[in-house]
Amino acid sequence: MKAIRIGTRGSALALWQAEHVRALLGTLGQAATIEVIVTTGDRVQDRRLEAVGGKGAFLKEIEEAMLAGQVDLAVHSLKDVPVTLPAGLRLAATLERADPRDALLSAAGQGLGALAEGARVGTTSLRRRALLRAARPDLRLEDLRGNVDTRIRRLREGRYDAIVLAMAGLTRLGRAEEVSEALDASEFLPAPGQGAIVIEGREGDQDTSALAARLHHAPTAQAVSAERVFLAALGGGCNVPLGAHAVHEGSGLRLRAFVAARQGEGLLRGEAVGVEPAELARRLADDLVKRGALELMGR
């Protein structure tokens, strides 16, 4: 049987995710190899992410390799995947979601509420900045890019008093014990899809996509679908402070979301319950629009 070629970035977290998928495919009797591809987001570290193409900057070269037939599948963190994919590509599977929360790591081991007034907190995410400003307007928010190891190293070097990272990534890399506080996802709302890994494939490659589909986790897919439809309905991306998190309740979903102005002021929250993910998401988006979301976002 021919080995499937998995395209991935070369960061420790991306490699962990690709290896995880390779191992899962192995349980199905399918051999796979991992091809590391350097992306624009990896190369350019001295500018804000939206200046180099947004989160899609971490996918562009991998997707081009897939369309060129150089790799068969790609493995991504779903929160990095734009809601619109290039023609010829599709999401073949969503894996079971890990912890979707954000995590605060602080030099003194303190939680968010215990940080000193004016503490320096590192994050470049507009979403995290908006939520931090809402919770602690006294904090000094400073840009922080780089992979997980780089960000934690800069915290340990004393450049920041605290930083915010995704709990799922820290857990996957065996660094969860360094977390000072896991932030409540119902209040400190995650990015749409945070904690979920997806497998992207070519539309015409039915055999490979069918194999990947055997790894699909439907409950996770339902929840993240609601989050991503909400994101699409408000035209969100890395240029907009926006969070969305759906959880299963009974036979349906509860979707919580927020949007804020680019500078983080005027944060607007909402939530809704429903059975069909897309309908639920659009209903919540409509509610926030009626309450001024577009004006708040500068639309």
- pLDDT 10s digits, 93-123: 999 999 999 999 999 999 999 999 999 999 9
Q: Are residues 142 and 285 in the same domain?
A: no
pLDDT, mean of residues 134-139: 96
Higher pLDDT, 254 or 58: 254
Q: What pLDDT, on the 0 to 100 scale, is given for residue 45?
A: 53
The pLDDT of 143-162, averaged and rounded, is: 94
**In which domain, by residue range, is 118 found?**
102-182
Residue 80 is among the residues annotated as catalytic for this protein: yes
Q: For residues 47 and 147, is the Cβ–Cβ distance under 8 A?
A: no
Average pLDDT, the chain: 93
Per-residue pLDDT of 30-51, as tens digits, reads 999 999 998 877 665 545 555 4
Is position 258 within any domain?
yes
Instruction: Please report which confidence band the pLDDT of residue 200 belongs to, taking 50, 70 and 90 as the band edges.
Output: very high
204 lies in the same domain as 90: yes
For tokens 């969100």, what's the residue? 236
Structural domain contains residue 50: yes
Residues 283 and 230 in one domain: yes
Q: Is residue 53 over pLDDT 70?
A: no
Task: Give yes or no: residues 205 and 88 share one domain.
Answer: yes
The CATH number covering residue 140 comes to 3.40.190.10
Answer yes or no: is 135 within a domain: yes
User: Which pLDDT score is estimated for 264?
Assistant: 64
The verdict on residue 138 lying in a domain is: yes
What the block records as the tokens of 16 is 């962990």
Confidence band for 183, pLDDT divided at 50, 70 and 90: very high
Quick one: which of 7, 15, 60, 57 has its CA closest to 37?
7
What residues contact residue 168 under an 8 Å CB cut-off, 6+ apart?
Answer: 97, 98, 99, 100, 194, 195
| Residue 139 reports pLDDT greater than 90 | yes
pLDDT at 178 over 80: yes
CA distance between the termini of the chain: 52
Q: Please classify residue 238 by burial: count the beta carbons closer than 10 Å to its beta carbon, then call 0-12 exposed, 13-18 middle and 19+ buried.
A: buried
Q: State the CATH number of the domain containing residue 238.
A: 3.30.160.40
Please state the rounded mean pLDDT for residues 273-290: 97
Paired tokens of 278: 């897309």
**Whether the predicted pLDDT of 179 surpasses 90:** yes
- Please give the order of strands across the beta sheet that includes 242-249: 242-249, 252-259, 268-274
Report the number of distinct structural domains present in the chain. 3
- DSSP code for 57: G
Determine, yes or no, domain membership for 65: yes
Q: List C-alpha distances in Å: 275 to 35, 91, 181, 232, 252.
A: 39, 22, 32, 19, 4
- Residue 237 reports pLDDT greater than 70: no
3-class state of residue 244 by DSSP: strand
pLDDT for 50 equals 52
Average pLDDT over residues 270-279: 97
Whether 273 and 128 share a structural domain: no
For residues 22 and 88, state if they share a domain.
yes
pLDDT value at 52 more than 50:
no
* Claim to verify: residue 32 and residue 112 sit in the same structural domain: no
Assess whether 165 and 24 both reside in one domain: no
pLDDT: is 41 or 230 the higher one? 230
Asked whether residue 89 is domain-assigned, the answer is yes
Q: Is residue 190 part of a domain?
A: no
pLDDT score for 125: 93
Residue 188 lies in a domain: no
**Same domain, residue pair 45 and 13:** yes
Q: 189: closest CA among 140, 145, 247?
A: 247
CA atoms within 13 A on the CB side of 261: 10
- The pLDDT score that the predictor gives to residue 1 is 67
Length of the chain: 299
Residues 211 and 81 in one domain: yes
Do 107 and 174 lie in one domain? The reply is yes
Same domain, 110 and 176: yes
Residue 51 pLDDT: 45
Of the listed 42, 46, 72, 80, which one is catalytic? 80
